[in-house]
Amino acid sequence: MAETDMDDLIEIIEKETDISEIPTSLPMMPVRDVVVFTDMLIPLFVGRDKSIKAVEAAADTDRYLFMCAQKVADDENPGKDDVYQLGTVGRIQKMLKLPDGRIKALIQGITKARVVKFKKQKPWFQVEVEMVEDKEIDTVDIEIEALMRNVRDSSEKILALRGEVSGDVGMILEQIESPGKLADLVASNLRLKVEDAQNLLETVDPAQRLLRVNDLLAREVELSAVQAKIQTNVKDEISKTQRDYYLREQVKAIHRELGDNDEKIAEVNDYSQKIKKAKMPEKCHKEALKQLKRLDQMHSDSSEASIIRTYLDCIVEMPWSKSTKDFLDIQKAAQVLERDHHGLEKVKERILEYLSVRKLNPSMKGQIICFSGPPGVGKTSLGQAIAKAMKRKFVRISLGGIRDEAEIRGHRRTYIGAMPGRILQGLRQCGTNNPVFMLDEIDKLGSDFRGDPSSALLEALDPEQNTEFSDHYLNMPFDLSKVLFVLTANVTDTIPSALLDRMEVIEISGYTREEKAVIAERHLFPRQLRENGLIRRSITVTSGAMDTLISQYTMEAGLRNLERKLGAICRKIARKIAEGQKGKFQVTKATLQKYLGPPVFQPELDQEESQVGLVTGLAWTEVGGEPLYIEVSLCHGKGELTVTGQIGDVMQESARAAFTCIKADMDILGIDKDAFETKDIHIHVPAGAIPKDGPSAGIAMATALISAFTGKVVNNKVAMTGEITLRGRVLPIGGLKEKALGALRAGIKTIVIPEKNKKDLHDLPAGVKRKIKFIPVRDLAQVLEVAFVDRDQD
């Protein structure tokens, strides 16, 4: 419509086309997102193949084309049920074929028509139509005249609100005297949904159609008014912000002329003072001043300025030169360690050695100590004890489950939300550069596509390299050589060898029953009394009850379950006191079941007496040592060997080696050779739900096999551990201390060990060596001398 002048437009609208000249069979073109009204002049870009052929067919004949709206605009290939049946017959005024094959056509709506029949659907739609004429209005009464005037006024309001008003528009609207044509003209220029426009097209009563257009105009006027109001408010807000910024800059300029410091100058001066007080190395000092200069040249509200402020805050808060003075009174440190930890003599001795060397050589580089042992033996609390003994700050971070290298080295400053790594964050929080820094659960580190955190720790934990530790966020070297790193792990097998090589590993085994009783009396029970709001003098636990609690209610290397059981006793007594019961409460061996129920751990029923084919071995686990029972049974068969009990490949190989060993020496051992051909051998390790592996049960399996074949009884008071070879030699094993403590907890008094493990007895506590008899052996024959007993003796 914009391409035609006003007179032509009025002539087009008022001109009556002779409908009888229009053929009833026409090409049909579905149109999307638009409903073509009568007298509407619309430019269309035709791109679909069917539509292009329909336009070309119309152009080749009498230029008439039937247009109807699609029900679903996204449908690329609509069928006869996907279009509205009532549409508009149009005449192609102009047509231009574009280089890409599409057609640009200017089409004028002539009259409404309804599809009577689809004559063909390929290669284009050819339909038979009947013309639909509006109801005739004899005279325009005053009501219709008022409605037409209202429609004209509302149309001009909308155009005014949209900023499109002009005198020509009003003149065009005034020239149209037909209600139906006015309704069609206004409706064609409203931004109506296809459903609403189609309803208007299908309304054949001009007065009714004009009334609906009036309702739609009223709603459009209201929407346009709200939209104009929103745009005005936004414009006013932007103008106000610009005005405030201009005035603020003027105020700053006035302050500068008067010699007063504004906020930005004050901020820069503040950072400058903090950088000076931080006493950082020269290289770092220059970098900090460089970043401060960048901040001074930036606008205060820019995002880059915010990043630089955060970076400067981090730099000035790092303890570049802040240290705590070490307290190096060795005797008092020994008293602190003895007061906080019972037993662990080797560990306390190593700590005191470190303090002694530190006293004689204050410039000594920080040592990397790793406490390795089962859960609950006090590894973490030992780190706190070291810090307390030296009067240093204590920082602890848990490395369990960390898989991102950036957790150790930090993120680049270019990332949103970047921050330093965990190590520098800990130093920043404690405020000193020489704390006792505990890295807990070093064996639980992982690695994935985000990097390997254990490799990132190599630089931090190497005394030769950590004088210039590089963090990605700080991007400048930081000296970690004054930090005393203390690491903890349950096992050292999962720690990478390069990282393990930088540590001094101190093994912490489990506690004996006597040590547990002392620790419970001195530390665990008083702590549970405090936590449960109880008074020490009103509650007592007898020594017999404590022994029963340790031996029958807990079976662990550490102390966590023991403390939980003591907490359960305290809670039950607290409830009695809260309910009004008074008096002193004494927990004895007889009353222990009332508080905790029946004992959880009891000796296995099979071990109440010595038996044939049942041997007690010893196993090492992450939570300490424990007994491992091995059973052998013979039955009629063909000499097949079966091993069960969810055991690993190494343990299965050990069983086959033991079987081959006794088969080779069957004459010496007094075994009938026919037994290997007429009997099936079944070796079973009970607790089948628990995975087991390792070679240390070799001599136990060999002894059980010999006992089953010879009928000799195995002494149930003897446990054994050692690897067996095909020639009957006994090879050394690991974890002897943990296995010995596990045997002591199970009430075993005699242990057969490989002779090459005699050196490990030096590390055992004196109480363990006093209560357990260790018998070193070189070969299987020596094992059998100790293992078997006569039935009469048993």
Local structure of 789: helix, strand or coil: strand
Q: Which residue has the tokens 């309702």?
A: 215
Which band of pLDDT confidence, cut at 50, 70 and 90, is reported for residue 791? low
- pLDDT tens sequence across 209-260: 888 888 887 887 778 777 777 777 777 777 777 777 777 777 777 766 766 5
Distance CA 639, CA 96 (A): 97
Q: What values do phi and psi take at 225, rounded to 5?
A: -65, -45
Most distant CA pair in the chain, distance: 135
680-737 confidence digits (pLDDT tens): 899 998 877 678 788 888 999 999 999 988 888 888 889 999 999 998 899 998 888 8
The pLDDT score that the predictor gives to residue 13 is 46
Higher-confidence residue of 167 and 620: namely 620
Cis peptide, bond prior to residue 27, ω within 30 of zero: no
Number of C-alpha atoms within 13 angstroms, CB side, residue 431?
A: 1
Q: Which residue has the tokens 């550069």?
A: 433
558: left (phi over 0), alpha (psi -120 to 50) or beta: beta
Neighbours of 123 (CB within 10 A): 12
170/321 Cα distance (integer angstroms):
82
> Does residue 290 register a pLDDT over 80?
yes
CA distance 784 to 780: 6
**Cα(609)–Cα(405) distance, rounded to whole angstroms?**
56
CB of 31 within 8 A of CB of 68? yes
375 is in an annotated binding site: yes
pLDDT at 675 over 90: no
Token pair for residue 367? 């040592």
Distance CA 649, CA 652 (A): 5
Q: Is 767 annotated as a binding residue?
A: no
Query: Does 453 carry a binding-site annotation?
Result: no
pTM more than 0.75: no
Residue 483 has a pLDDT of 87
Dist CA 565 CA 600 (whole Å): 11
Ligand-binding site membership of 378 (annotated): yes
User: Residue 162: which pLDDT band, with cuts at 50, 70 and 90?
Assistant: low
Burial of 155 (0-12, 13-18, 19+ CB in 10 A): buried
Residue corresponding to tokens 């039935």: 791
Distance CA 690, CA 323 (A): 50
How far is the C-alpha of 113 from the C-alpha of 195, rounded, in Å?
Answer: 17
Q: Give CA torsion, residues 408, 413, 415, 418, to 10 deg.
A: 50
| pLDDT attached to residue 499 | 85
Share of the chain above pLDDT 70, in %: 92
Q: Strand 41-46 vs strand 103-120: parallel, antiparallel, or unpaired?
A: antiparallel
- The closest of 234, 266, 271, 264 to 249, measured between CA atoms, is 264
Q: Going edge to edge, which strands form the sheet with 614-621? A: 641-644, 679-684, 624-636, 614-621, 718-720, 750-754, 773-777
Query: Which tokens hold the place of 164?
Result: 């499109």
Position 793 pLDDT exceeds 70: no
Output the pLDDT for position 721: 92
State pLDDT tens for residues 760-787.
Answer: 888 787 778 888 899 999 998 888 888 8
143-161, pLDDT tens digit by residue? Answer: 777 878 877 777 777 776 6
User: 784 vs 301, which has greater pLDDT?
Assistant: 784
Note the helical H segments in 431-477.
453-460
Instruction: Give the bridge partners for 543, in sequence order.
Output: none
User: Which DSSP state fits 520?
Assistant: I
d(CA 94, CA 89): 16
Predicted confidence at residue 54, as pLDDT, reads 87
How sure is the predictor about 394, in pLDDT bands with cuts at 50, 70 and 90? very high
Per-residue tokens: 492: 């050292």
Q: Which helix (H) or strand (E) holds 111?
A: strand 103-120
3-state SS class at 593: helix
Rounded to the nearest 10 degrees, the angle between the axes of helix 379-390 and helix 345-360 is 30
Query: 274 by DSSP, 3-state: which?
Result: helix
Which residue numbers are catalytic?
A: 696, 739
259 is in an annotated binding site: no
> How many beta carbons lie within 10 A of that of residue 226, not counting itself?
11
- DSSP-derived secondary structure letter, 524: I
Residue 783 marked ligand-binding = no
User: Peptide bond preceding 23: is omega within 30 degrees of 0, i.e. cis?
Assistant: no
pLDDT tens string 561-570: 888 999 999 9
Average pLDDT along the chain: 82
Q: Which of 705, 554, 725 is nearest to 626 (CA)?
A: 554
Closest by alpha carbon to 555, among 768, 739, 745, 285? Answer: 745
Q: What SS3 class is residue 625?
A: strand
Rounded mean pLDDT, 459-479:
84
Q: What is the pLDDT of residue 702?
A: 92
- Is 698 labeled as ligand-binding? no
Instruction: Return the closest-CA partner of residue 371 out of 395, 402, 339, 348.
Output: 348
CA 220 to chain centre: 50
Give 14-60 pLDDT, tens digit per residue. Answer: 445 567 778 888 888 898 888 888 888 888 888 888 888 888 888 88
